[in-house]
Amino acid sequence: MADVVSPDVRSRMMAGIRGAHTNPEMLLRRGLFAKGFRYRLHAKGLPGKPDLVFPRYDAVLFAHGCFWHGHDCHLFKMPSTRREFWEAKIARNREVDARHEVALHAAGWRRGVVWECALKGRTRLPYPEVITRCATWLSSRKDSLAIRGS
For domain 19-147, give its CATH number from 1.10.287.90, 3.40.960.10, 3.30.70.980, 2.70.70.10.
3.40.960.10
Distance CA(76)–CA(137), nearest Å, equals 26
Mean pLDDT, residues 16-35 taken together? 85
**59-100 per-position pLDDT tens digit:** 999 999 999 999 999 999 998 888 999 999 999 999 999 999
**91-149 per-position pLDDT tens digit:** 999 999 999 999 999 999 999 999 999 999 999 999 999 999 999 999 999 999 999 99
CB 149 within 8 A of CB 125: yes
Return the ∠ at Cα 56 (arms to 50 and 58), rounded to 5°.
Answer: 50
Task: Give the chain's length.
Answer: 150
